[in-house]
């Protein structure tokens, strides 16, 4: 059964601790495709470790290869030890359950050492407190004071290994306590873009204020949560500053990307070069249709109709330079009137100034 369908997602479970360690108010949103891919790989890994046929719906060849590499690596590391997979663990403090979660892989060695492995399907991140939580629960289960934890990266074909002492995991309790405290304040971090609280987060809003006031020192926003604003002038002020911040963000990303292309190394970011193909500007749709070998209907399903360009083409077809004239509009309607339906376009626009001072 995939992890997401089990009852092992505690409110402050191990997988949430990397986020909560940076921001106690972090709340994850919908599961993305990367997480779904990770779930498929975890399921495949579990079946491979148990020697079962791999039957995971939607599993790709690459995902299978990643899980297969991890399984082989784990079996080599275990060296004949009895492997426990997908073990539900519980952390107990003062006879009360603090959290629970599932460990991907565990075993004990002949020498009495405890090894815990967590499979990672993505890139390397700081999983210190997630692994500390798993280690603390495992050490409680086996009555040990030390545990070797391994982050196993299937895509990267790499591992990160360290030994955790029981006392070092006390920080996990502090992270959970802070997350439970309703008075804890949010902080901006690398995970803000994945947090459902981002649009109304006061920490994020403070960063917006810094940008806005940098451009507009006379900023007069009284409440940074738009849903709570009832003053029309405040709404207008917020819209004006939204334009400023949006332009700033676009410009910042553009120049940062160019700096990285020129060789600058920016911590936490990289340039992704994704191979892609596109038709050149000189290629005509007729050429594409001929080369496709598709039927007219099937080819049409792959195409988008641009009304603006079509209006211009019709105008040019009857010898006019522009599609905005009455004659061009009438010709367009005569050709396509039966195919057109009414549509209302609703958008936010700035009012044009009449040049008069109030």
Residues 245-302: tens digit of each pLDDT = 888 888 889 999 999 999 999 988 889 888 888 888 889 889 999 999 999 999 988 8
Can you give the pLDDT at residue 291? 93
- Per-domain boundaries in the chain: 3-180, 201-261, 288-336
- Per-residue model confidence (pLDDT) at position 354: 55
Neighbours of 278 (CB within 10 A): 6
Q: Which residues pair with 90 in a beta bridge?
A: 100
Average pLDDT on 11-36 reads 87
pLDDT for 224:
64
Spell out the residues 6+ positions from residue 357 whose beta carbon is closer than 8 angstroms to its own: none
DSSP line for 159-183: EEEEEEEGGGGHHHHHHHHHHH-TT
Looking from the CA of 262 toward its CB, the CA atoms found within 13 Å total 6
- Stronger pLDDT, 108 or 274, i.e. the higher one: 108
Q: Which of 97, 81, 84, 82 is nearest to 140 (CA)?
A: 97
Across the range 294-317, mean pLDDT stands at: 90
Query: Which of 6-10, 255-259, 334-338 is the least confident region?
Result: 6-10
User: Cα separation of 44 and 68, whole Å?
Assistant: 8
Would you say 186 and 201 are in contact if contact means Cβ atoms under 8 Å apart? yes
Alpha carbon distance 178, 26 (integer Å): 11
Sheet order of strands, 96-108 included:
84-93, 96-108, 114-120, 146-153, 158-165
CA–CA dist 172, 92 (Å, integer)? 12
Looking at residue 216, its pLDDT comes to: 67
Compute the mean pLDDT over every residue in the chain, rounded to the nearest whole number: 88
pTM: 0.66
Under the banding of pLDDT at 50, 70 and 90, the label for residue 219 is low
Lowest mean pLDDT among 108-117, 225-234, 347-356: 347-356
Per residue in 152-181, pLDDT (tens digit) is: 999 999 999 999 999 999 999 999 999 999
Contact by Cβ (8 Å): 106, 115: yes
Q: DSSP label at 68?
A: H
In this predicted structure, the answer to whether residue 1 has a pLDDT above a threshold of 80 is: no
CB 328 within 8 A of CB 318: yes
Conformational region of residue 322, where left means phi above 0, alpha means psi within -120 to 50, and beta covers everything else:
beta
Predicted pLDDT of residue 9: 54
Residue burial 126-138, b: 16+ Cβ < 10 Å; e: rest: ebbbbbbbbbbbb
Annotate 175-194 with b (16+ C-beta within 10 A) or e (fewer): bbebbeeeeeebebeebbee
Element (H, E) at 299: helix 296-300
| Domain covering 3-180 in this structure, CATH number | 3.90.320
DSSP 355: S
Percentage, residues of the chain above pLDDT 90: 57
Choose among 119, 118, 117, 96: nearest CA to 107.
117
Higher pLDDT, 221 or 104: 104
Query: Per this entry, what is the length of the chain?
Result: 358
Dump pLDDT digits (tens) for 40-66.
999 999 999 999 999 999 999 999 999
What pLDDT score was predicted for residue 74? 97
The predicted structure's pLDDT at residue 48: 96
Residue 190 has pLDDT above 80, yes or no: yes
Examine the pLDDT at 12 and tell me if it is beyond 80. no
Least confident among 143-147, 200-204, 259-263: 200-204
> What is the C-alpha to C-alpha distance for residues 108 and 230, in angstroms, rounded to an integer?
62
The predicted-structure confidence for 60-103, as pLDDT tens digits, reads as follows: 999 999 999 999 999 999 999 999 999 999 999 999 999 999 99
């Amino acid at each position: 059964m995939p992890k997401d369908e089990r009852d092992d997602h505690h409110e402050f479970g191990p997988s949430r601790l990397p986020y909560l360690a940076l921001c106690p108010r972090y709340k994850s949103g919908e599961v993305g495709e990367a997480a779904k891919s990770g779930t498929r790989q975890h399921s495949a890994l579990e079946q491979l470790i148990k020697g079962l046929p791999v039957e995971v719906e939607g599993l790709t060849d690459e995902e299978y290869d990643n899980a297969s590499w991890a399984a082989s690596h784990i079996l080599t590391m275990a060296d004949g030890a009895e492997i426990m997979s997908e073990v539900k663990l519980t952390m107990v403090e003062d006879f009360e359950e603090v959290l629970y979660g599932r460990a991907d892989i565990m075993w004990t060695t002949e020498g009495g050492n405890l090894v815990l492995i967590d499979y990672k399907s993505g890139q390397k991140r700081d999983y210190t407190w997630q692994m500390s939580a798993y280690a603390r629960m495992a050490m409680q289960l086996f009555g040990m004071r030390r545990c070797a934890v391994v982050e196993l990266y299937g895509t990267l074909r790499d591992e990160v290994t360290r030994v955790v002492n029981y006392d070092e995991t006390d920080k996990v309790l502090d992270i959970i306590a802070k997350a439970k405290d309703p008075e804890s304040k949010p902080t901006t971090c690398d995970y803000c873009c994945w947090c459902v609280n981002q649009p109304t987060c006061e920490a994020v809003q403070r960063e917006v204020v810094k940008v806005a006031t940098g451009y507009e020192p006379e900023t007069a926003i009284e409440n940074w949560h738009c849903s709570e604003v009832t003053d029309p002038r405040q709404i207008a002020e917020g819209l004006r500053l939204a334009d400023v911040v949006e332009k700033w963000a676009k410009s910042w990303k553009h120049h940062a990307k160019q700096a990285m292309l020129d060789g600058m190394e920016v911590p936490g970011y990289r340039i992704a070069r994704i191979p892609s193909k596109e038709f050149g500007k000189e290629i005509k749709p007729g050429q594409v249709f001929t080369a496709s070998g598709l039927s007219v209907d099937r080819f049409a399903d792959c195409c988008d109709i641009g009304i603006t360009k079509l209006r211009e083409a019709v105008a040019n077809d009857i010898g006019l330079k522009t599609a905005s004239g009455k004659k061009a509009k009438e010709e367009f309607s005569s050709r396509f009137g039966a195919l057109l339906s009414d549509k209302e376009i609703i958008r936010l626009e700035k009012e044009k100034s009449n040049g008069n001072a109030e």
